[in-house]
Chains A and B, each alone.
Chain A
Amino acid sequence: MRTKLLYIIIISLFFQWIYSQEKKDDFLRFNIKYKNESLIQNKKYISLSKDTLQIETFRFYVSNIKLILIDNSEISEEKSYHLIDIEEPNSQIISISKNLNKEIKKVVFSLGIDSTASVSGALSGDLDPTKGMYWAWQSGYINFKIEGKSSSCKTRNKAFQFHVGGYLKPNYAIRTIELETKNSNFEINVDLAELFNVIKLSEINSIMIPGLKAMDIADKAKLMFTISESLPNEK
C-alpha cells in the first residue's frame, strides 16, 4: 500500500516537473503594425510616398530563429519554420525557450525559407503546401505575401500583390534579420509603413515571380523589423 502511494507521489511529481518546464517556456511575439498602431485589415493608411493603401493579406515566414546571449553563446531552434499570418493571432506568438539565466543581446532569424527546405518535396506543419505559400508552376516557397488595394494602382480592382520568394541564386530572396536588444523582455515590431514608405505603388504593384524585383523588395522588407524592449515587470 505504502509503495503504491510512493509511486503515485513520484509520478505526480514527475508530471508537475514537466508541467513547470513547459510553463517556463517563453514567447517571441511579433506585433504587426502600421506606424504606431496595430495593423487593421482593410483600414486606409497613407504612406510617405503619398499612396493611400489597404492591406488585405499579410503572411510571412520566420525561420531559423537564433538567440544570442550576453556571453555570445547561441540558442537555436530546431526545425524552425513559422508562418505568421495577420489573420491568425496565435501565429504571431512563437513559443521558444527564452528561460535563460543569461540575458539575450541579439535575436537573429530569416525572413523566408532556405533553399534546403525549398528542394525537399512535400513538408508538413507550417511548410505544408496547403498553406498557400508554395508556388506550383515553379517550385519554391513564397517568403512573404502582401496583398491589398491602393488608388495609386492602375490595375484590376486597384489591387497590388507581392508574392516574394525564390531559392535559386542569383535570385535567392531569403533575408536575415538581426535585432539587438537591451534586455530579454522584448517584442518584435513588424511595421508595414516602413516598407510602403520606400516604394511607390504606382510603379511597383505586382511581384509574382522570383527575380530582381523580388530581390529588391525583399531588401526593403527588412526595414519592417525592429525590436521593442519593455520593462522587466511589464511582461
Chain B
Amino acid sequence: MKSKYTFIILIGSVLVFSLAFTFLKPTPIYFQIPKGWPKPNYDFSKNPLTEEGFQLGRQLFYDPILSKDSTISCASCHLQATGFTHVDHSLSHGIEGKIGTRNSMTMMNLAWSKSFMWDGGVNHLDVQALNPITSSDEMNETLANVVLKLRKNDKYKSLFFAAFGDENITGQRILKALSQFELMLISSNSKYDKVMRKEAVFTNQEQNGYQLFKTNCASCHSEPLFTNGNFENNGIPLDSTLNDIGRQRITEKTEDYLKFKVPTLRNIQFTNPYMHDGRFNKLTEVIKHYNSITNNKKVSKQLKKSMNLTDNERVDLVAFLLTLTDNEFLFDKRFVYPR
C-alpha cells in the first residue's frame, strides 16, 4: 500500500517538474525568410532566437545603461522611424556631446550582412555592439563594466533568467541578446516587395524609375537587399577634416582607399543624411552626385560612366526609391521602446 503512494507521489512530482520546465523554457521564434530572398548569413544555430532573448535584446537596445554615464543608448543614434539611423545628424553623437567621425548606419536585414560598419571591420553581428559601447566618442564604456551594472539590476536578472535559463549575466549573453533583437529587424513589406509578390503594381513613373535603377544602380545595390555587401569608392572626395580613408584602414591595401560599405537603399526616404559622413541631406543631391560623377582613377568601375539622366528620369528614379519605404517596419510595435 505504502509503496503505491510513494509511486504516485513520485510520478506526480516528475510530471509537475516536466510541466514547470516546459513553461520556463524560452519560446522559440521561427525566423522567416521572405519569399525569394537568399539564405541568411547569420548562423542561428549558435544563437537560437527566442521571444525572451529578443525582448532582452530590445530592453538593452533602448537602455542608456550601456554607456558610461547612462545618457546614450543604441536607440540614441538608431531610431526606428528613420530606418534605425540618426536623422538630421551627419555625424553621430556620443556621451558628453562628443561627435564621432561617421554617419550612423541604418539597421535592417542584418541577418544577411557578411560584415558590419562602413569599413567592414567587424566580421560578425554579435561583436558589432562592442564598437559603439567602447568607442570613446560614443558610449565610452567597457563590456565588463556593463556586466557589473546589469548584475546589480533586478529587472535584468529576471530577463536574463527568462532568456537563458539562469541569472548569469555575461558579455557573451549581452551581445547575443542584442543580436536577437537586431536580427528581427526585417524590412520586406515595402511597395516594391508587394509589387514583386504581385500584391500591388508600380505607377508608370515608378516602373520607369525601376528600369533606370536596374541599369544604373543595381550592380552594387542589388535586389532584394539593395546592397551587394561590398566596398566601393563612389567618387566622393576625402573630407580633410575627418581624413576617413575607409576600408583601407582595415585591410591596409591602397586599392581600398576611400572605399566604404555599399549601404542598403531600403527605407531611403527617411534615412537621410546620406553617405558615410552624411554629406548629402537630400536624395536629389545623391542622385545629382551620381549623375555627374567626376571621373578619377580611384572610383569604382561601376561608376566610371556617369548616369547622365535627364531631369524627368531623375524624378522617376526618386519615385522608384520611395517605393522602398516599408511603413510596417518603421512602425512595427515589436521594435518600439519597451515599457
For B171, the chain A residues whose CB sits under 8 A away are 122, 128-131
Q: Which of A94-150 contact B (CB under 8 A)?
A: 118-124, 128-132, 134, 136-140
Q: Mark B295-318, 1 if CB is under 8 A from A, else 0.
A: 000000000000000000000000
For A122, the chain B residues whose CB sits under 8 A away are 124, 126-127, 171-172, 175-176, 179
Report Cα–Cα, A121/B147, bound state, in Å. Answer: 18
- Is B123's CB under 8 angstroms from A119's CB? yes
Closest to A138 in B: B121
Judge whether B143 is part of the interface by a CB distance below 8 angstroms: yes
- Given the contacts A129-B130, A134-B130, A123 and B172 also touching, CB distance less than 8 Å: yes
Report Cα–Cα, A138/B248, bound state, in Å. Answer: 12
For A120, the chain B residues whose CB sits under 8 A away are 46, 124
Judge whether B125 is part of the interface by a CB distance below 8 angstroms: yes
Report Cα–Cα, A134/B250, bound state, in Å. Answer: 15
For A124, the chain B residues whose CB sits under 8 A away are 170, 172
Chain B interface size band reads 20 to 34
Interface size on A, residues (CB 8 A): 19
- Is A136's CB under 8 angstroms from B131's CB? yes
Closest to A171 in B: B252
- Given the contacts A124-B170, A128-B171, A129-B127, A139 and B252 also touching, CB distance less than 8 Å: no
- Is A118's CB under 8 angstroms from B123's CB? yes
In the assembled complex, the CB of B254 is this many whole angstroms from the nearest CB of chain A, namely 14
Q: Mark A205-216, 1 if CB is under 8 A from B, else 0.
A: 000000100000
- Given the contacts A121-B47, A122-B176, A139-B124, A128 and B130 also touching, CB distance less than 8 Å: no
Interface centre among A128, A134, A211 (most CB of B within 10 A): A128
For B131, the chain A residues whose CB sits under 8 A away are 136-137
In the assembled complex, the CB of B246 is this many whole angstroms from the nearest CB of chain A, namely 13
Interface centre among B123, B126, B170 (most CB of A within 10 A): B123
- Is A121's CB under 8 angstroms from B130's CB? no
Judge whether B327 is part of the interface by a CB distance below 8 angstroms: no
Judge whether B219 is part of the interface by a CB distance below 8 angstroms: no
Judge whether B109 is part of the interface by a CB distance below 8 angstroms: no
Closest to A212 in B: B252
Q: Mark B130-166, 1 if CB is under 8 A from A, else 0.
A: 1101110000001110010000000000000000000
- Is B144's CB under 8 angstroms from A136's CB? no
- Is B144's CB under 8 angstroms from A139's CB? no
- Given the contacts A121-B124, A128-B170, A138 and B250 also touching, CB distance less than 8 Å: yes
Q: Mark B159-191, 1 if CB is under 8 A from A, else 0.
A: 000000000001110011001000000000000
Q: Mark B39-74, 1 if CB is under 8 A from A, else 0.
A: 000010011000000000000000000000000000
7 closest Cβ pairs, A-B complex = A121-B126, A130-B171, A122-B175, A122-B126, A121-B124, A139-B123, A130-B144
Interface pairs (6), CB distance under 8 Å:
A121-B47, A122-B175, A122-B176, A124-B170, A124-B172, A129-B143
- New A-B contacts (11) at CB < 8 Å, excluding given A128-B171, A130-B144, A136-B130: A120-B46, A121-B46, A121-B47, A121-B179, A122-B126, A128-B170, A129-B130, A130-B143, A134-B130, A138-B121, A138-B250
